[in-house]
Amino acid sequence: MATSGFAGKGRWAASAALGSAVVWVAVRWWLEARLERNGWVLPPELSPAIDPDTFILRLMGGAVAVVVVLGVLWWLLRSHSPRTVSRTLWGLLGVWVAVWLLGAVSQWQNHANRLNLAPTQTETLRVVGVQVTKPSTRTLGGAKMYVDWPEQGGLHTVLIEDASEALLRQPSQLTLTLAPGRSHGWYVLGWSVQGVDTKGQP
C-alpha cells in the first residue's frame, strides 16, 4: 500500500510539473495565433533604460539569493529526515508550478495591455544613442533607440524592428506617436525622423 501511495504521489507530481509548463506553452501559442488570425501587431514599449550600476546591483542580489536558497536546500536535504525531504521536494514543486502559471498569466496581461491602443500624444525626443540588435527568438531585431524624455524621468529605450537608414544614422531627434497601455507603460504606435521623408510604423 505504501509503495502504491508513493507511486500515485509521484505520478501526480510529474503531471503537475509537466502540466504547468504545458499551460504556459498553450497560452503563448494561443496568443500568437490570435494575433496572426486578426492581423494585430503589438506595439513596442518605450521603457525606462536601466542604469548599468543598478543592473549590476540587481545581478549581484539575484546571485546572492540563489546561493542562499541552494544553501538552505542543501541543509534541509542533509537532515536525513524523510518528512523534511518530502516537504522540501513538495515545496519546490509548488514553486515550479507557480512560476509557470504566473508566467502564463503575465503573457496574457502583457498582450491585453498592448492591444488596440489609441494614440494620445506625439513627443519629439532627443536621440542619445542607437544600438543595432540581431534577430533572436524574442524579436526580429532592428534598432534599439535611446532617447531622452525628461517629463518621464530621463533616458528611455524602444526597439524599432523596421528600422530605416535614417534611424541607423542616429538622428538628433525622433518624433514618436505614443499611447498609454491599458494598465501601465507607454507604447510607440509610429515614428518619424525630422527633416527626412521617412516615416514608419514600428
Give residue limits of the domains in the chain.
Answer: 1-40+81-115, 44-78+118-202
pLDDT of residue 131: 86
Distance from C-alpha of 15 to C-alpha of 139, rounded to nearest angstrom: 32
pLDDT of residue 26: 95
Give per-residue burial for 82-121: e unless 16+ CB within 10 Å, then b: eeeeeebeeeebeeebeebbeebeebeebbebbbebeeee
**What is this structure's pTM?**
0.77
pLDDT of residue 84: 73
The model's pLDDT over 20-44, given as tens digits with 9 standing for 90+, comes to 999 999 999 999 999 889 888 889 9
Mean pLDDT of 179-192: 91
How confident is the prediction for the chain on average, in pLDDT? 82
Give per-residue burial for 6-34: e unless 16+ CB within 10 Å, then b: eeeeeeebeeeeeebbebbeebeeebeee
The pLDDT of residue 195 is above 90 = no
Nearest to residue 41, comparing CAs of 133, 110, 116, 106? 116
Mean pLDDT of 74-93: 75
pLDDT of residue 9: 74
Distance from C-alpha of 35 to C-alpha of 174, rounded to nearest angstrom: 28
pLDDT of residue 79: 66
The model's pLDDT over 114-148, given as tens digits with 9 standing for 90+, comes to 988 988 889 999 998 888 887 766 667 788 889 99
